Amino acid sequence: MLLNDDLSGRTLVHAAALAWAPSPAKGVKRRMLFRIGDEVARATSIVRYAPGSHFARHGHPGGEEFLVLEGTLQDETGDFPVGTYVRNPPGTGHAPGSETGCTIFVKLWQFRADDRERVVRLPGKGAVAGLRPGVASSMILFEGAGERVMMEEWQPGADIELSNPEGLELLVLVGGFMDGAEPLNRWSWLRLPAGESLRATVGPEGARVWFKSAPLLHESACAFEDTSRSEQANK
């Protein structure tokens, strides 16, 4: 399966408007944003766990990165409430689920091959970054392996510009903004190739955004084999 696999141009998906599709696990559904592969895939998705649902234990040969959007996700290492950001590097594995139900934004098989740092940022945790005009708060969730991952609050009516020397990926969490003539609202996902800056006019409610400045696919990303079955959950 190929979905939004052309990384050379602008890609925008209003994920809140997509239908939920079933996953291999009962009670777990997903909205696919980017995908190369079938049930084992290099993928970006929004995934919803019904209360009491879970995946069997599985490995992540290419790494896994997720942000909890709603509810609480659990695995053997603990509970991850809404707002938690986690990086499980290549070679790790777990059996995720949710007793009360949750929704996550998740990226699979997009780590640099030498990235072996596990990161757990609970809500409100991270390095505080310097503020720019129109930015009410700015937090660094991760910096390393050729990536900088941020969570920011943008003030109502502000004009925001994000430079983009390497590649930019953004998810709107709360509120929204205009990118030119196009509105982005809750769960709108935007991916821009290197050199294409974002110029946003924030809406009257302000906006909370997650974004990553990094190559859209690392040259040294872990080798991907669609025939592998060691990662059974393309969340």
Q: pLDDT (tens digit, 9 = 90+) per residue, 90-140?
A: 999 999 999 999 999 999 999 999 999 999 999 999 999 999 999 999 999
- The number of domains in the chain is 2
Phi, psi of 190 (to 5 degrees): -125, 135
Residue 13: which of 170, 118, 203, 150 has the closest Cα? 170
- Does 97 share its domain with 148? no
Q: Is the pTM of this model over 0.75?
A: yes
Mean pLDDT of 156-185: 97
Which of 120-123's residues contact partners 24+ apart within 8 Å by CB, and which partners?
120/77, 120/78, 120/80, 120/84, 120/85, 120/86, 121/84, 121/85, 121/86, 122/80, 122/81, 122/83, 122/84, 123/81, 123/82, 123/83, 123/84
Q: pLDDT (tens digit, 9 = 90+) per residue, 21-44?
A: 999 999 999 999 999 998 789 999
- Does 157 share its domain with 77? no
CA distance 105 to 136: 23
Tokens read off for 59 = 């490995």
Domain boundary among 120, 146, 165: 120
Range of the domain at 150: 127-213
Is 225 inside any structural domain?
no
Specify the pLDDT at position 145.
92
